């Protein structure tokens, strides 16, 4: 049969991609994650669910022995497990780190959608901006004069790249994310909806009559592989740079003040706030609603538990776990919390002891004076 030639400029037939409804076999999972199949390698599944929600056609995972009971009660058709014992006789993929294996499988099985390359007619791109190869810029996005957008980067509707700003290759700016004037975002950066890189630092001085604004002349430099959550704000430096280190992940609604330095591969969880000129080391974790005052120094590997408050000028040594307000070593905080829980009981004991003291009247305990020893 004679083929009809494709007209010039006509779209190619789209290549079928695996979708969330596509079925898969256990052997496909094992091959993808580098695991070993236990049981029927040809078992066909159609979904991925948690242990409690999974049904006979779903794949689930067991991270450690604490979930053994849930695993045994789960209706999942197959599991990803770190040991044969945790499989409980079910078909499984044996892998060292089931959580990481799950992430690898989901990335392949349900890859994130990316728009086709091209600049929409509804986008506003200044003629003096520089666009890399394969960029995708949606209607309503703005790229100002002198800005640079790297190869294969995606700018969704409402996203903004300011004058002379630089966004690296393979970045993804979700709707209404903004990289403001002269700021830098490294390769493979992800800015979720409403994230702002380069908002003015909160700098004011009292002149005797009013709060006078200090011009914020610096920038923000975000290094490679950083992800910034929805409505998070990273303030530009007063002078110099606010720096977010390579591989750091910042959750929704996090505030990072001017001239802060955050080290590589740190985690800043939801509603954490870091005040100006703080220094955060590598692999630091700030749990939800942690407050870091200005000029604080946190060493590498510090973990601040939820709602911890770290006071101005504190210098926390590397590897320390801290809790409470004001922050203290976690074990000391637990001791204090235990005593705090006993305060009502201790107050009653003190009242009973005071009631036995001679000379106690309505005004309280009559304290006896002691003569100085000769």
- Catalytically annotated residues: 258
Residues forming a β-bridge with 166:
148, 184
Structure tokens at 164: 């002379």
Dihedral sign of CA atoms 133, 136, 139, 141 in order:
negative
The Cα 351–Cα 140 span in angstroms is 70
- Residue 159 φ then ψ, to 5°: -70, 160
Q: What does R_g of the chain's alpha carbons equal in angstroms?
A: 29
Q: How far is CA 319 from CA 89, 280, 295, 298, 310, in A?
A: 40, 12, 19, 9, 15
Structure tokens at 245: 């280190």
Sign of CA dihedral 294, 295, 301, 304: negative
Alpha-carbon distance values, 195 to 146, 158, 173, 241 (Å)? 21, 12, 9, 18
Burial of 181 (0-12, 13-18, 19+ CB in 10 A): middle
Q: Is 213 helix (H, G, I), strand (E, B) or coil?
A: strand
H helices, E strands: number in the chain: 6, 41
Nearest to 233 by CA among 194, 277, 203: 194
Q: Cβ(210)–Cβ(192) under 8 Å?
A: no
Helix %, strand %, coil % for the chain, to 5? 15, 25, 55
71 membership: H or E segment, kind and range:
helix 68-73
The residue assigned the tokens 């009292």 is 206
């Amino acid at each position: 049969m004679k083929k009809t030639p494709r007209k010039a400029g006509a779209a190619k037939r789209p290549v079928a991609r695996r979708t969330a409804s596509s079925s898969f076999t256990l052997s496909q999972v094992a091959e993808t994650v580098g695991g070993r199949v236990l049981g029927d390698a040809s078992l066909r599944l159609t979904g991925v669910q948690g242990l409690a929600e999974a049904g006979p056609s779903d794949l689930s995972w067991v991270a450690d022995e604490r979930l053994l009971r849930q695993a045994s009660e789960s209706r999942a058709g197959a599991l990803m497990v770190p040991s044969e014992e945790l499989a409980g006789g079910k078909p499984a993929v044996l892998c060292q780190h089931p959580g990481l294996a799950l992430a690898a499988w989901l990335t392949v099985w349900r890859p994130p959608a990316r728009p086709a390359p091209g600049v929409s007619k509804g986008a506003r791109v200044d003629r003096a901006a520089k666009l890399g190869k394969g960029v995708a810029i949606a209607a309503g996005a703005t790229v100002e004069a002198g800005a640079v957008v790297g190869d294969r980067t995606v700018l969704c509707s409402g996203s903004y790249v300011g004058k002379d700003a630089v966004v690296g290759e393979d970045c993804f700016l979700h709707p209404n994310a903004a990289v403001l004037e002269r700021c830098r975002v490294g390769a493979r950066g992800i800015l979720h909806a409403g994230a702002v890189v380069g908002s003015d630092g909160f700098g004011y001085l009292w002149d005797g009559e009013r709060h006078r604004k200090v011009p914020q002349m610096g920038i923000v430099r975000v290094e490679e592989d950083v992800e910034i959550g929805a409505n998070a704000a990273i303030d530009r430096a007063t002078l110099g740079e606010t720096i977010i280190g390579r591989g750091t992940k910042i959750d929704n609604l996090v505030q990072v003040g001017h001239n802060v330095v955050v080290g590589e591969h740190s985690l800043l969880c939801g509603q954490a706030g870091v005040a100006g000129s703080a220094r955060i080391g590598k692999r630091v974790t700030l749990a939800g609603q942690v407050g870091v005052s200005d000029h604080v120094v946190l060493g590498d590997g510090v973990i601040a538990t939820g709602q911890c408050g770290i006071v101005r000028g504190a210098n926390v040594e590397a590897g320390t776990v801290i809790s409470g307000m004001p922050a203290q070593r976690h074990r000391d905080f637990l001791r204090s919390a235990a005593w705090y829980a006993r305060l009502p009981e201790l107050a009653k004991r003190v009242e009973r002891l005071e009631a036995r003291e001679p000379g106690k009247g309505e005004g309280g305990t009559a304290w006896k004076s002691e003569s100085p020893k000769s």
